[in-house]
Structure 1
Protein backbone atom coordinates (compact mmCIF):
# COMPACT_ATOMS: atom_id res chain seq x y z
CA UNK A 1 0.00 0.00 0.00
CA UNK A 2 1.12 3.55 -0.74
CA UNK A 3 2.03 5.56 2.36
CA UNK A 4 -0.61 8.07 3.47
CA UNK A 5 0.30 11.77 3.49
CA UNK A 6 -0.54 13.15 6.94
CA UNK A 7 0.74 16.73 6.75
CA UNK A 8 2.77 18.88 4.39
CA UNK A 9 4.10 22.42 4.43
CA UNK A 10 7.18 24.64 4.58
CA UNK A 11 9.64 24.32 7.49
CA UNK A 12 13.21 25.50 8.00
CA UNK A 13 15.66 22.56 8.08
CA UNK A 14 19.27 22.41 9.21
CA UNK A 15 21.62 20.98 6.61
CA UNK A 16 22.90 17.48 7.38
CA UNK A 17 26.52 18.34 6.59
CA UNK A 18 26.64 22.15 6.58
CA UNK A 19 25.52 24.32 9.49
CA UNK A 20 23.00 26.16 7.31
CA UNK A 21 19.24 26.47 7.69
CA UNK A 22 17.08 26.50 4.58
CA UNK A 23 13.37 26.53 3.85
CA UNK A 24 12.18 23.17 2.49
CA UNK A 25 8.82 21.64 1.60
CA UNK A 26 8.20 18.83 4.10
CA UNK A 27 5.82 15.90 3.63
CA UNK A 28 4.95 13.71 6.63
CA UNK A 29 3.73 10.23 5.69
CA UNK A 30 2.74 7.44 8.07
CA UNK A 31 6.18 5.82 7.78
CA UNK A 32 8.65 8.58 6.80
CA UNK A 33 9.33 12.30 6.42
CA UNK A 34 10.34 13.52 2.97
CA UNK A 35 11.67 17.00 2.25
CA UNK A 36 11.90 18.84 -1.07
CA UNK A 37 13.74 21.94 -2.24
CA UNK A 38 10.47 23.31 -3.64
CA UNK A 39 6.84 22.30 -3.34
CA UNK A 40 6.67 21.63 -7.09
CA UNK A 41 9.66 19.23 -7.17
CA UNK A 42 8.89 15.64 -8.16
CA UNK A 43 11.73 13.99 -6.26
CA UNK A 44 12.72 14.69 -2.62
CA UNK A 45 16.12 15.93 -1.44
CA UNK A 46 15.97 13.38 1.35
CA UNK A 47 13.87 10.92 3.32
CA UNK A 48 13.80 10.24 7.08
CA UNK A 49 12.43 6.80 8.04
CA UNK A 50 10.20 6.93 11.12
CA UNK A 51 10.46 3.30 12.22
CA UNK A 52 12.12 3.30 15.68
CA UNK A 53 12.80 7.06 15.36
CA UNK A 54 12.64 9.46 18.31
CA UNK A 55 11.16 12.96 18.51
CA UNK A 56 12.49 15.78 20.72
CA UNK A 57 10.40 18.93 21.20
CA UNK A 58 11.16 21.56 22.17
CA UNK A 59 14.76 21.05 21.05
CA UNK A 60 17.24 23.20 22.99
CA UNK A 61 20.35 22.35 20.95
CA UNK A 62 20.50 25.84 19.43
CA UNK A 63 20.48 28.81 21.80
CA UNK A 64 19.70 31.35 19.07
CA UNK A 65 16.91 29.38 17.43
CA UNK A 66 13.48 28.84 18.90
CA UNK A 67 10.61 26.60 17.76
CA UNK A 68 12.97 23.78 16.77
CA UNK A 69 12.15 20.07 16.98
CA UNK A 70 14.45 17.11 16.33
CA UNK A 71 13.82 13.75 14.69
CA UNK A 72 16.48 11.12 15.46
CA UNK A 73 16.47 7.99 13.29
CA UNK A 74 17.19 4.42 14.41
CA UNK A 75 20.71 4.90 12.99
CA UNK A 76 21.27 7.91 15.31
CA UNK A 77 21.06 10.52 12.56
CA UNK A 78 19.63 13.80 13.85
CA UNK A 79 17.39 16.00 11.70
CA UNK A 80 16.46 19.47 12.94
CA UNK A 81 13.38 21.42 11.81
CA UNK A 82 12.29 24.94 12.74
CA UNK A 83 8.70 26.12 12.51
CA UNK A 84 7.82 29.74 11.83
CA UNK A 85 5.40 30.01 14.75
CA UNK A 86 4.42 28.09 17.87
CA UNK A 87 1.08 26.81 16.58
CA UNK A 88 2.77 25.39 13.48
CA UNK A 89 5.38 23.52 15.53
CA UNK A 90 2.72 22.02 17.80
CA UNK A 91 0.63 20.56 14.96
CA UNK A 92 3.71 19.02 13.32
CA UNK A 93 4.91 17.56 16.63
CA UNK A 94 1.47 16.18 17.45
CA UNK A 95 1.17 14.39 14.10
CA UNK A 96 4.73 13.03 14.16
CA UNK A 97 4.17 11.70 17.71
CA UNK A 98 1.02 9.93 16.61
CA UNK A 99 2.71 8.51 13.51
CA UNK A 100 5.54 7.11 15.68
CA UNK A 101 3.05 5.59 18.12
CA UNK A 102 1.08 3.96 15.30
CA UNK A 103 4.24 2.51 13.74
CA UNK A 104 5.37 1.13 17.08
CA UNK A 105 2.00 -0.51 17.71
CA UNK A 106 1.54 -1.76 14.16
CA UNK A 107 -1.58 0.41 13.68
CA UNK A 108 -2.74 2.58 10.80
CA UNK A 109 -2.51 6.34 11.36
CA UNK A 110 -5.94 7.88 12.00
CA UNK A 111 -6.45 11.54 12.80
CA UNK A 112 -8.56 12.10 15.90
CA UNK A 113 -11.35 14.62 15.90
CA UNK A 114 -10.83 17.27 18.55
CA UNK A 115 -14.59 17.51 18.99
CA UNK A 116 -15.02 13.77 19.51
CA UNK A 117 -11.90 13.24 21.64
CA UNK A 118 -12.96 15.82 24.24
CA UNK A 119 -16.74 15.36 23.70
CA UNK A 120 -17.57 18.92 22.72
CA UNK A 121 -21.29 19.48 22.03
CA UNK A 122 -22.11 19.80 18.35
CA UNK A 123 -23.60 23.28 18.81
CA UNK A 124 -20.37 24.78 20.19
CA UNK A 125 -18.74 27.25 17.78
CA UNK A 126 -15.09 27.68 18.86
CA UNK A 127 -14.49 30.52 16.37
CA UNK A 128 -17.34 32.59 17.82
CA UNK A 129 -16.18 31.81 21.36
CA UNK A 130 -12.64 32.96 20.46
CA UNK A 131 -14.00 36.30 19.18
CA UNK A 132 -15.96 36.85 22.42
CA UNK A 133 -12.89 36.02 24.53
CA UNK A 134 -10.82 38.59 22.63
CA UNK A 135 -13.34 41.43 23.14
CA UNK A 136 -11.40 44.29 24.76
CA UNK A 137 -14.28 45.28 27.06
CA UNK A 138 -15.93 42.01 28.07
CA UNK A 139 -13.39 39.33 27.12
CA UNK A 140 -10.50 37.70 28.97
CA UNK A 141 -8.16 40.40 30.28
CA UNK A 142 -4.60 40.22 28.95
CA UNK A 143 -1.84 40.81 31.49
CA UNK A 144 1.89 41.48 31.72
CA UNK A 145 3.35 38.71 33.89
CA UNK A 146 6.94 38.23 35.09
CA UNK A 147 7.74 34.57 35.78
CA UNK A 148 11.10 32.84 36.20
CA UNK A 149 12.90 36.07 35.25
CA UNK A 150 10.97 36.23 31.96
CA UNK A 151 8.38 38.83 31.01
CA UNK A 152 5.23 37.64 29.24
CA UNK A 153 3.15 40.36 27.57
CA UNK A 154 -0.51 39.98 26.51
CA UNK A 155 -1.00 36.71 28.38
CA UNK A 156 -3.51 35.31 30.88
CA UNK A 157 -3.68 32.40 33.32
CA UNK A 158 -5.45 29.11 32.79
CA UNK A 159 -7.77 29.59 35.76
CA UNK A 160 -8.77 33.05 34.46
CA UNK A 161 -9.97 31.45 31.23
CA UNK A 162 -12.12 28.94 33.12
CA UNK A 163 -13.45 31.71 35.41
CA UNK A 164 -14.45 33.76 32.34
CA UNK A 165 -16.17 30.82 30.61
CA UNK A 166 -18.28 30.17 33.72
CA UNK A 167 -19.07 33.85 34.43
CA UNK A 168 -20.23 34.36 30.82
CA UNK A 169 -22.45 31.28 30.94
CA UNK A 170 -20.38 29.38 28.35
CA UNK A 171 -19.68 26.56 30.83
CA UNK A 172 -21.74 25.31 33.80
CA UNK A 173 -18.71 24.21 35.82
CA UNK A 174 -14.93 23.97 35.69
CA UNK A 175 -14.99 20.53 34.05
CA UNK A 176 -17.05 21.89 31.14
CA UNK A 177 -14.79 24.95 31.02
CA UNK A 178 -11.75 22.68 30.71
CA UNK A 179 -13.34 20.87 27.76
CA UNK A 180 -13.97 24.15 25.94
CA UNK A 181 -10.51 25.54 26.73
CA UNK A 182 -8.86 22.31 25.56
CA UNK A 183 -10.80 22.55 22.31
CA UNK A 184 -9.59 26.14 21.83
CA UNK A 185 -6.01 25.03 22.56
CA UNK A 186 -6.15 22.08 20.13
CA UNK A 187 -7.53 24.30 17.37
CA UNK A 188 -4.84 26.97 17.86
CA UNK A 189 -7.14 29.70 19.22
CA UNK A 190 -5.10 29.59 22.45
CA UNK A 191 -1.33 29.07 22.65
CA UNK A 192 0.78 27.97 25.64
CA UNK A 193 3.24 30.47 27.14
CA UNK A 194 5.89 29.42 29.64
CA UNK A 195 7.08 26.01 30.75
CA UNK A 196 4.03 24.91 32.77
CA UNK A 197 1.45 25.32 30.00
CA UNK A 198 3.86 24.02 27.33
CA UNK A 199 4.45 20.83 29.33
CA UNK A 200 0.70 20.30 29.47
CA UNK A 201 0.29 20.96 25.76
CA UNK A 202 3.05 18.51 24.81
CA UNK A 203 1.91 15.51 26.87
CA UNK A 204 0.45 12.70 24.79
CA UNK A 205 -1.29 12.96 21.45
CA UNK A 206 -3.75 15.65 22.56
CA UNK A 207 -3.01 19.06 24.05
CA UNK A 208 -4.08 19.50 27.67
CA UNK A 209 -5.32 22.85 29.00
CA UNK A 210 -4.41 23.54 32.64
CA UNK A 211 -6.83 25.21 35.07
CA UNK A 212 -3.96 26.68 37.08
CA UNK A 213 -2.73 30.13 38.06
CA UNK A 214 0.84 29.06 37.11
CA UNK A 215 -0.18 28.11 33.55
CA UNK A 216 0.07 31.04 31.11
CA UNK A 217 -1.52 31.31 27.67
CA UNK A 218 -1.71 33.71 24.71
CA UNK A 219 -4.43 34.22 22.18
CA UNK A 220 -3.52 32.56 18.88
CA UNK A 221 -1.98 35.18 16.63
CA UNK A 222 -4.53 35.03 13.81
CA UNK A 223 -3.91 37.11 10.69
CA UNK A 224 -5.37 40.59 10.61
CA UNK A 225 -5.94 42.73 7.53
CA UNK A 226 -2.77 43.73 5.71
CA UNK A 227 -1.95 47.43 5.61
CA UNK A 228 0.84 49.53 4.11
CA UNK A 229 3.02 51.00 6.85
CA UNK A 230 6.21 53.03 7.05
CA UNK A 231 8.87 51.32 9.19
CA UNK A 232 11.85 52.92 10.94
CA UNK A 233 14.53 50.66 12.46
CA UNK A 234 16.52 51.92 15.47
CA UNK A 235 19.34 50.26 17.39
CA UNK A 236 19.31 52.42 20.56
CA UNK A 237 16.91 51.32 21.86
CA UNK A 238 16.47 48.21 19.72
CA UNK A 239 13.03 48.84 18.23
CA UNK A 240 11.28 48.99 14.91
CA UNK A 241 8.52 51.61 14.91
CA UNK A 242 5.75 51.72 12.33
CA UNK A 243 3.68 54.67 11.16
CA UNK A 244 0.72 55.54 8.98
CA UNK A 245 2.37 56.04 5.59
CA UNK A 246 0.18 59.08 4.87
CA UNK A 247 1.13 60.93 8.07
CA UNK A 248 4.27 62.13 9.83
CA UNK A 249 6.66 60.46 12.24
CA UNK A 250 5.53 62.18 15.44
CA UNK A 251 3.05 59.53 16.53
CA UNK A 252 3.92 55.87 15.75
CA UNK A 253 1.07 53.37 15.46
CA UNK A 254 3.12 50.78 17.30
CA UNK A 255 6.54 49.30 17.92
CA UNK A 256 8.30 45.94 18.07
CA UNK A 257 11.02 45.36 20.65
CA UNK A 258 13.84 43.59 18.78
CA UNK A 259 16.37 42.70 21.47
CA UNK A 260 16.64 38.90 21.50
CA UNK A 261 14.14 38.44 18.67
CA UNK A 262 14.41 36.03 15.73
CA UNK A 263 13.72 37.05 12.13
CA UNK A 264 13.41 34.61 9.23
CA UNK A 265 12.14 34.57 5.67
CA UNK A 266 8.88 32.63 5.36
CA UNK A 267 6.93 31.35 2.39
CA UNK A 268 3.44 31.85 3.74
CA UNK A 269 1.47 33.25 6.66
CA UNK A 270 -0.75 30.93 8.70
CA UNK A 271 -4.47 31.33 8.00
CA UNK A 272 -3.88 33.76 5.12
CA UNK A 273 -5.29 33.34 1.65
CA UNK A 274 -2.72 32.95 -1.11
CA UNK A 275 -4.23 35.64 -3.30
CA UNK A 276 -4.17 38.16 -0.44
CA UNK A 277 -0.46 37.93 0.31
CA UNK A 278 2.22 36.37 -1.86
CA UNK A 279 6.00 36.63 -1.91
CA UNK A 280 8.81 38.43 -0.06
CA UNK A 281 7.43 37.61 3.40
CA UNK A 282 9.40 37.57 6.63
CA UNK A 283 8.55 36.98 10.27
CA UNK A 284 9.77 38.58 13.48
CA UNK A 285 9.41 36.48 16.64
CA UNK A 286 10.07 38.56 19.76
CA UNK A 287 11.75 37.26 22.91
CA UNK A 288 8.31 36.71 24.51
CA UNK A 289 7.11 34.80 21.43
CA UNK A 290 4.87 37.42 19.82
CA UNK A 291 4.79 36.96 16.03
CA UNK A 292 4.76 39.72 13.41
CA UNK A 293 4.49 39.06 9.67
CA UNK A 294 5.74 41.63 7.18
CA UNK A 295 6.03 41.79 3.41
CA UNK A 296 8.75 43.62 1.51
CA UNK A 297 8.35 45.03 -2.00
CA UNK A 298 11.13 42.88 -3.52
CA UNK A 299 13.27 39.86 -2.66
CA UNK A 300 16.37 42.07 -2.30
CA UNK A 301 14.50 44.44 0.01
CA UNK A 302 13.39 41.52 2.17
CA UNK A 303 17.01 40.32 2.39
CA UNK A 304 18.19 43.78 3.44
CA UNK A 305 15.48 44.13 6.12
CA UNK A 306 16.24 40.69 7.58
CA UNK A 307 19.97 41.42 7.72
CA UNK A 308 19.44 44.81 9.37
CA UNK A 309 16.90 43.51 11.91
CA UNK A 310 19.14 40.54 12.79
CA UNK A 311 22.00 42.93 13.51
CA UNK A 312 19.87 45.16 15.76
CA UNK A 313 18.35 42.16 17.56
CA UNK A 314 21.84 40.92 18.40
CA UNK A 315 23.76 44.14 19.01
CA UNK A 316 21.10 46.77 19.79
CA UNK A 317 20.51 48.09 23.29
Structure 2
Protein backbone atom coordinates (compact mmCIF):
# COMPACT_ATOMS: atom_id res chain seq x y z
CA UNK A 1 0.00 0.00 0.00
CA UNK A 2 3.08 2.30 0.10
CA UNK A 3 2.75 3.38 -3.51
CA UNK A 4 -0.90 4.26 -2.90
CA UNK A 5 0.01 6.41 0.10
CA UNK A 6 2.54 8.38 -1.96
CA UNK A 7 -0.16 9.29 -4.47
CA UNK A 8 -3.27 11.06 -3.21
CA UNK A 9 -6.48 9.03 -3.39
CA UNK A 10 -8.98 10.87 -5.57
CA UNK A 11 -11.80 8.38 -5.26
CA UNK A 12 -12.38 4.88 -3.90
CA UNK A 13 -15.22 2.40 -3.59
CA UNK A 14 -16.77 -0.80 -4.91
CA UNK A 15 -17.15 -1.52 -8.61
CA UNK A 16 -17.93 -4.82 -10.30
CA UNK A 17 -15.27 -5.75 -12.86
CA UNK A 18 -15.47 -8.14 -15.80
CA UNK A 19 -12.58 -10.59 -15.97
CA UNK A 20 -10.28 -10.68 -19.00
CA UNK A 21 -9.59 -14.42 -19.33
CA UNK A 22 -12.68 -15.81 -17.62
CA UNK A 23 -15.49 -13.41 -18.44
CA UNK A 24 -17.13 -13.47 -15.04
CA UNK A 25 -17.91 -10.45 -12.90
CA UNK A 26 -16.21 -9.83 -9.55
CA UNK A 27 -16.73 -7.10 -6.96
CA UNK A 28 -13.49 -5.23 -6.35
CA UNK A 29 -12.42 -2.25 -4.26
CA UNK A 30 -11.13 0.45 -6.64
CA UNK A 31 -8.75 3.27 -5.75
CA UNK A 32 -8.26 6.16 -8.18
CA UNK A 33 -5.00 8.14 -7.97
CA UNK A 34 -3.44 10.83 -10.14
CA UNK A 35 -2.28 8.35 -12.78
CA UNK A 36 -3.69 4.88 -12.01
CA UNK A 37 -6.84 2.98 -11.16
CA UNK A 38 -5.94 0.19 -8.71
CA UNK A 39 -8.22 -2.59 -7.56
CA UNK A 40 -8.19 -4.97 -4.59
CA UNK A 41 -10.14 -7.99 -3.41
CA UNK A 42 -12.25 -8.08 -0.26
CA UNK A 43 -11.59 -11.29 1.67
CA UNK A 44 -13.66 -12.26 4.70
CA UNK A 45 -15.07 -8.77 5.02
CA UNK A 46 -11.68 -7.02 4.94
CA UNK A 47 -9.82 -5.45 2.03
CA UNK A 48 -6.98 -7.64 0.82
CA UNK A 49 -3.66 -5.82 1.07
CA UNK A 50 -2.52 -7.57 -2.11
CA UNK A 51 -2.99 -5.45 -5.23
CA UNK A 52 -5.06 -7.40 -7.78
CA UNK A 53 -4.50 -5.08 -10.70
CA UNK A 54 -3.66 -1.60 -11.86
CA UNK A 55 -4.85 0.38 -14.89
CA UNK A 56 -2.45 3.05 -16.18
CA UNK A 57 -4.68 5.94 -17.21
CA UNK A 58 -2.39 7.88 -19.54
CA UNK A 59 -4.02 8.10 -23.00
CA UNK A 60 -6.99 5.99 -21.90
CA UNK A 61 -10.46 6.42 -23.34
CA UNK A 62 -13.53 6.45 -21.09
CA UNK A 63 -16.88 5.40 -22.59
CA UNK A 64 -19.92 6.14 -20.45
CA UNK A 65 -22.53 4.82 -20.63
CA UNK A 66 -21.41 1.52 -22.16
CA UNK A 67 -24.57 -0.30 -23.24
CA UNK A 68 -23.39 -3.63 -24.67
CA UNK A 69 -24.66 -5.74 -21.73
CA UNK A 70 -28.42 -6.27 -21.65
CA UNK A 71 -28.65 -6.97 -17.92
CA UNK A 72 -25.97 -4.47 -16.91
CA UNK A 73 -27.02 -0.93 -17.85
CA UNK A 74 -24.64 0.76 -15.38
CA UNK A 75 -21.33 -0.16 -17.00
CA UNK A 76 -18.54 2.20 -18.04
CA UNK A 77 -15.58 1.16 -20.18
CA UNK A 78 -11.96 2.22 -19.74
CA UNK A 79 -9.82 1.38 -22.77
CA UNK A 80 -6.06 1.73 -22.44
CA UNK A 81 -3.73 3.13 -25.07
CA UNK A 82 -2.83 -0.47 -25.96
CA UNK A 83 -6.46 -1.40 -26.61
CA UNK A 84 -7.10 -3.35 -23.38
CA UNK A 85 -10.71 -2.92 -22.30
CA UNK A 86 -11.83 -2.78 -18.66
CA UNK A 87 -15.59 -3.03 -18.08
CA UNK A 88 -16.68 -1.65 -14.70
CA UNK A 89 -20.20 -1.62 -13.25
CA UNK A 90 -21.37 0.88 -10.64
CA UNK A 91 -24.32 0.67 -8.27
CA UNK A 92 -26.25 3.58 -9.81
CA UNK A 93 -26.22 6.02 -12.70
CA UNK A 94 -24.97 8.75 -10.40
CA UNK A 95 -22.07 6.65 -9.11
CA UNK A 96 -21.20 5.48 -12.61
CA UNK A 97 -21.11 9.05 -13.91
CA UNK A 98 -19.04 10.25 -10.95
CA UNK A 99 -16.47 7.52 -11.51
CA UNK A 100 -16.40 8.21 -15.25
CA UNK A 101 -16.05 11.94 -14.64
CA UNK A 102 -13.20 11.54 -12.16
CA UNK A 103 -11.35 9.03 -14.36
CA UNK A 104 -11.82 11.29 -17.38
CA UNK A 105 -10.44 14.23 -15.40
CA UNK A 106 -7.31 12.23 -14.59
CA UNK A 107 -6.91 11.16 -18.23
CA UNK A 108 -7.29 14.73 -19.47
CA UNK A 109 -4.91 16.08 -16.86
CA UNK A 110 -2.32 13.53 -17.93
CA UNK A 111 -2.75 14.80 -21.47
CA UNK A 112 -1.95 18.28 -20.22
CA UNK A 113 -5.48 19.63 -20.61
CA UNK A 114 -8.28 20.41 -18.19
CA UNK A 115 -11.77 18.96 -18.23
CA UNK A 116 -13.47 21.67 -16.17
CA UNK A 117 -13.28 25.03 -17.93
CA UNK A 118 -15.46 28.10 -17.64
CA UNK A 119 -17.46 26.89 -20.64
CA UNK A 120 -17.67 23.30 -19.35
CA UNK A 121 -18.01 23.37 -15.54
CA UNK A 122 -17.66 20.15 -13.57
CA UNK A 123 -16.78 17.99 -16.54
CA UNK A 124 -19.97 18.73 -18.44
CA UNK A 125 -18.40 17.39 -21.64
CA UNK A 126 -19.10 13.93 -20.28
CA UNK A 127 -22.67 14.72 -19.32
CA UNK A 128 -23.85 16.28 -22.58
CA UNK A 129 -27.41 15.28 -23.25
CA UNK A 130 -27.89 12.36 -25.64
CA UNK A 131 -30.54 9.78 -26.37
CA UNK A 132 -28.23 6.94 -25.35
CA UNK A 133 -28.14 8.30 -21.81
CA UNK A 134 -31.93 8.55 -21.77
CA UNK A 135 -32.28 4.95 -22.97
CA UNK A 136 -29.76 3.83 -20.38
CA UNK A 137 -31.90 5.41 -17.69
CA UNK A 138 -35.13 3.96 -19.01
CA UNK A 139 -33.54 0.48 -19.10
CA UNK A 140 -32.51 0.65 -15.45
CA UNK A 141 -33.84 -2.49 -13.77
CA UNK A 142 -34.54 -0.80 -10.43
CA UNK A 143 -35.58 2.75 -11.30
CA UNK A 144 -36.38 2.67 -15.02
CA UNK A 145 -39.84 2.99 -16.52
CA UNK A 146 -42.17 0.12 -15.60
CA UNK A 147 -43.90 -1.95 -18.26
CA UNK A 148 -47.25 -3.62 -17.69
CA UNK A 149 -50.35 -4.89 -19.49
CA UNK A 150 -52.82 -2.37 -20.93
CA UNK A 151 -56.21 -2.71 -22.56
CA UNK A 152 -57.21 -0.58 -25.54
CA UNK A 153 -60.55 -1.02 -27.31
CA UNK A 154 -60.95 -4.56 -26.01
CA UNK A 155 -57.43 -5.69 -26.92
CA UNK A 156 -54.80 -6.45 -24.27
CA UNK A 157 -51.20 -5.40 -24.92
CA UNK A 158 -48.32 -6.63 -22.75
CA UNK A 159 -45.00 -5.02 -21.81
CA UNK A 160 -45.97 -1.47 -22.68
CA UNK A 161 -46.57 1.91 -21.07
CA UNK A 162 -48.71 4.96 -21.73
CA UNK A 163 -47.53 8.21 -23.26
CA UNK A 164 -48.30 10.13 -20.09
CA UNK A 165 -46.29 7.58 -18.08
CA UNK A 166 -43.27 8.26 -20.30
CA UNK A 167 -43.63 12.01 -19.79
CA UNK A 168 -44.14 11.55 -16.04
CA UNK A 169 -41.05 9.38 -15.78
CA UNK A 170 -38.79 11.73 -17.79
CA UNK A 171 -39.74 14.63 -15.51
CA UNK A 172 -39.43 12.53 -12.33
CA UNK A 173 -36.00 11.24 -13.43
CA UNK A 174 -34.97 14.88 -14.02
CA UNK A 175 -34.11 14.17 -17.64
CA UNK A 176 -36.56 16.93 -18.55
CA UNK A 177 -37.51 20.01 -16.55
CA UNK A 178 -41.06 20.39 -17.86
CA UNK A 179 -43.71 18.22 -19.48
CA UNK A 180 -43.25 20.13 -22.73
CA UNK A 181 -39.55 19.35 -22.70
CA UNK A 182 -40.28 15.71 -21.82
CA UNK A 183 -42.73 15.48 -24.72
CA UNK A 184 -40.06 16.75 -27.12
CA UNK A 185 -37.62 14.20 -25.76
CA UNK A 186 -40.16 11.36 -26.05
CA UNK A 187 -40.90 12.42 -29.63
CA UNK A 188 -37.19 12.19 -30.45
CA UNK A 189 -37.06 8.66 -29.02
CA UNK A 190 -40.04 7.71 -31.17
CA UNK A 191 -38.60 9.36 -34.28
CA UNK A 192 -35.26 7.56 -33.85
CA UNK A 193 -37.00 4.21 -33.54
CA UNK A 194 -36.14 3.56 -29.88
CA UNK A 195 -39.84 3.55 -29.01
CA UNK A 196 -42.70 2.11 -31.05
CA UNK A 197 -46.43 2.63 -31.05
CA UNK A 198 -48.75 0.03 -29.53
CA UNK A 199 -52.45 -0.05 -30.40
CA UNK A 200 -54.53 2.22 -32.60
CA UNK A 201 -54.40 5.60 -30.86
CA UNK A 202 -50.64 6.08 -30.80
CA UNK A 203 -50.25 4.61 -34.29
CA UNK A 204 -52.83 7.03 -35.71
CA UNK A 205 -51.10 10.00 -34.06
CA UNK A 206 -47.76 8.96 -35.56
CA UNK A 207 -49.32 8.55 -39.00
CA UNK A 208 -51.36 11.73 -39.20
CA UNK A 209 -50.02 14.12 -36.57
CA UNK A 210 -47.61 16.99 -37.10
CA UNK A 211 -44.05 16.81 -35.80
CA UNK A 212 -45.12 18.22 -32.43
CA UNK A 213 -48.14 15.89 -32.17
CA UNK A 214 -46.71 12.49 -33.10
CA UNK A 215 -46.11 11.46 -29.47
CA UNK A 216 -49.12 11.80 -27.21
CA UNK A 217 -48.97 12.83 -23.55
CA UNK A 218 -52.05 10.69 -22.99
CA UNK A 219 -52.82 7.90 -20.51
CA UNK A 220 -54.68 5.92 -23.21
CA UNK A 221 -51.98 6.15 -25.92
CA UNK A 222 -49.68 3.15 -25.64
CA UNK A 223 -46.00 2.71 -26.48
CA UNK A 224 -43.23 0.18 -25.94
CA UNK A 225 -39.54 -0.24 -26.63
CA UNK A 226 -38.75 -1.18 -30.20
CA UNK A 227 -38.30 -4.86 -30.93
CA UNK A 228 -34.54 -4.35 -31.24
CA UNK A 229 -34.32 -2.66 -27.84
CA UNK A 230 -35.01 -5.30 -25.19
CA UNK A 231 -36.06 -4.16 -21.74
CA UNK A 232 -33.04 -5.17 -19.71
CA UNK A 233 -34.31 -7.64 -17.18
CA UNK A 234 -37.33 -5.61 -16.12
CA UNK A 235 -39.92 -8.29 -16.77
CA UNK A 236 -37.77 -10.88 -15.03
CA UNK A 237 -37.26 -8.59 -12.07
CA UNK A 238 -40.94 -7.71 -11.82
CA UNK A 239 -42.06 -11.34 -11.82
CA UNK A 240 -39.33 -12.67 -9.52
CA UNK A 241 -40.94 -11.21 -6.41
CA UNK A 242 -44.28 -9.78 -5.46
CA UNK A 243 -45.04 -6.77 -7.63
CA UNK A 244 -45.95 -4.90 -4.45
CA UNK A 245 -42.44 -5.31 -3.03
CA UNK A 246 -40.82 -3.81 -6.12
CA UNK A 247 -43.39 -1.09 -6.72
CA UNK A 248 -42.01 1.41 -4.21
CA UNK A 249 -39.90 4.44 -5.00
CA UNK A 250 -36.15 3.82 -4.90
CA UNK A 251 -34.74 5.90 -2.03
CA UNK A 252 -31.16 4.67 -1.88
CA UNK A 253 -28.90 2.10 -3.50
CA UNK A 254 -25.28 1.07 -3.11
CA UNK A 255 -22.75 -1.69 -2.59
CA UNK A 256 -22.47 -3.06 0.94
CA UNK A 257 -20.93 -6.17 2.51
CA UNK A 258 -23.43 -8.64 3.96
CA UNK A 259 -22.70 -11.59 6.23
CA UNK A 260 -24.34 -14.85 5.16
CA UNK A 261 -26.81 -16.48 7.53
CA UNK A 262 -25.43 -20.02 7.23
CA UNK A 263 -21.75 -19.92 6.26
CA UNK A 264 -21.19 -16.52 7.92
CA UNK A 265 -19.00 -15.40 5.02
CA UNK A 266 -19.03 -11.84 3.72
CA UNK A 267 -20.19 -10.98 0.20
CA UNK A 268 -20.56 -7.70 -1.67
CA UNK A 269 -24.22 -7.09 -2.44
CA UNK A 270 -26.10 -4.32 -4.22
CA UNK A 271 -28.70 -3.02 -1.73
CA UNK A 272 -31.81 -1.18 -2.93
CA UNK A 273 -34.01 0.66 -0.43
CA UNK A 274 -37.60 1.44 -1.42
CA UNK A 275 -40.47 3.30 0.19
CA UNK A 276 -44.27 2.98 -0.04
CA UNK A 277 -44.04 0.11 0.67
CA UNK A 278 -40.76 0.12 2.60
CA UNK A 279 -38.57 -2.81 1.52
CA UNK A 280 -34.85 -3.50 1.47
CA UNK A 281 -33.71 -5.89 -1.27
CA UNK A 282 -30.20 -7.08 -2.08
CA UNK A 283 -28.79 -8.43 -5.33
CA UNK A 284 -25.69 -10.40 -6.31
CA UNK A 285 -23.84 -7.98 -8.62
CA UNK A 286 -21.66 -10.76 -10.05
CA UNK A 287 -24.64 -12.64 -11.55
CA UNK A 288 -26.45 -11.97 -14.80
CA UNK A 289 -29.75 -12.72 -13.05
CA UNK A 290 -31.30 -9.39 -12.11
CA UNK A 291 -33.67 -10.90 -9.55
CA UNK A 292 -33.06 -10.08 -5.87
CA UNK A 293 -31.35 -12.83 -3.89
CA UNK A 294 -33.11 -11.63 -0.77
CA UNK A 295 -35.11 -8.89 0.82
CA UNK A 296 -37.51 -8.02 3.60
CA UNK A 297 -40.13 -5.53 4.68
CA UNK A 298 -38.85 -2.74 6.92
CA UNK A 299 -42.09 -2.63 8.89
CA UNK A 300 -41.21 -3.13 12.55
CA UNK A 301 -37.46 -3.44 11.87
CA UNK A 302 -34.77 -2.24 14.24
CA UNK A 303 -31.48 -0.87 12.90
CA UNK A 304 -28.46 -0.07 15.04
CA UNK A 305 -24.81 0.86 14.65
CA UNK A 306 -22.21 -1.59 15.95
CA UNK A 307 -18.95 -0.43 17.47
CA UNK A 308 -15.66 -1.02 15.67
CA UNK A 309 -13.82 -2.01 18.85
CA UNK A 310 -13.70 -5.79 18.77
CA UNK A 311 -15.99 -8.21 16.94
CA UNK A 312 -19.64 -8.05 18.08
CA UNK A 313 -21.51 -11.21 18.98
CA UNK A 314 -22.84 -12.98 15.89
CA UNK A 315 -20.22 -11.52 13.58
CA UNK A 316 -17.59 -13.75 12.00
CA UNK A 317 -14.48 -13.05 9.97
CA UNK A 318 -11.82 -10.36 9.91
CA UNK A 319 -14.11 -7.39 9.39
CA UNK A 320 -13.03 -3.96 8.20
CA UNK A 321 -15.44 -2.04 10.43
CA UNK A 322 -18.39 0.32 9.90
CA UNK A 323 -20.85 -2.38 10.93
CA UNK A 324 -24.56 -2.08 11.50
CA UNK A 325 -27.33 -4.57 12.25
CA UNK A 326 -30.93 -4.86 11.12
CA UNK A 327 -33.38 -7.01 13.09
CA UNK A 328 -36.58 -7.78 11.20
CA UNK A 329 -40.03 -8.16 12.68
CA UNK A 330 -39.56 -11.95 12.43
CA UNK A 331 -36.33 -11.64 14.51
CA UNK A 332 -33.93 -12.34 11.62
CA UNK A 333 -30.57 -10.61 12.19
CA UNK A 334 -28.72 -9.04 9.26
CA UNK A 335 -25.11 -7.91 9.76
CA UNK A 336 -23.98 -5.37 7.17
CA UNK A 337 -20.68 -3.60 6.64
CA UNK A 338 -20.41 -0.24 4.87
CA UNK A 339 -17.27 1.01 3.08
CA UNK A 340 -17.00 4.12 5.29
CA UNK A 341 -18.43 5.49 8.53
CA UNK A 342 -20.26 8.16 6.52
CA UNK A 343 -21.87 5.48 4.33
CA UNK A 344 -22.90 3.52 7.42
CA UNK A 345 -24.64 6.46 9.05
CA UNK A 346 -26.29 7.45 5.78
CA UNK A 347 -27.79 3.96 5.38
CA UNK A 348 -28.88 3.79 9.02
CA UNK A 349 -30.64 7.17 8.76
CA UNK A 350 -32.34 6.22 5.48
CA UNK A 351 -33.56 2.88 6.84
CA UNK A 352 -34.80 4.42 10.09
CA UNK A 353 -36.91 6.89 8.13
CA UNK A 354 -38.68 3.94 6.50
CA UNK A 355 -39.22 2.06 9.76
CA UNK A 356 -40.76 5.03 11.56
Normalised TM-score (structure 2): 0.39
Larger relative contact order (CA 8 Å, sep ≥ 6): 2
The structure having more radius of gyration, on CA atoms, is: 2
Normalised TM-score (structure 1): 0.44
